[in-house]
Amino acid sequence: MSTSETVTILVLDKEYQVQCPPDQRDALLRAALELDQRMRTIRQGGSVIGLERIAIMAALNLSYDLLETQHRATKNEANSEDLERLDNKVFQALQALSSSS
């Protein structure tokens, strides 16, 4: 038995039928809304003409944003590890000071 449902999304005033698991329906609708908004912004800019080109530009923008977010998350993870090491060193130094008193 299939656990997918058909969801209708609207992008640039065109309807698309998409299959997705019921628990991912809200995420799909949010993604479709984000895509629609980005495509409308690109179309309103006037420098890109044609639905396919607008879709490609929106996809490139979304991909860039995803990669930047992943890069920042990786940097934050590294910074977090550095802070944890520093915290351990400070803790050890404080323990050494309290032991010698």
pLDDT digits (tens, 9 = 90+) for 2-44: 689 999 999 999 999 999 999 999 999 999 999 999 999 999 9
Q: pLDDT at position 59, please?
A: 93
Q: Over pLDDT 90: what percentage of the chain?
A: 58
Confidence class for position 85, pLDDT limits 50, 70, 90? confident
As given in the structure block, the two tokens for residue 88 are: 């351990």
Q: Domains in the chain, start-ordered, CATH in brackets?
A: 5-100 (3.30.160.880)
Other residues' Cβ atoms within 10 Å of the Cβ of residue 58: 23
Contact criterion met (CB below 8 Å) for 1 and 12: no
Please state, rounded to an integer, the average pLDDT across all residues of the chain. Answer: 87
Residue in this structure with the two tokens 């977090």, named with its chain if needed: 80
Confidence class for position 101, pLDDT limits 50, 70, 90? low
Amino acid making up residue 23:
D
pTM score? 0.67
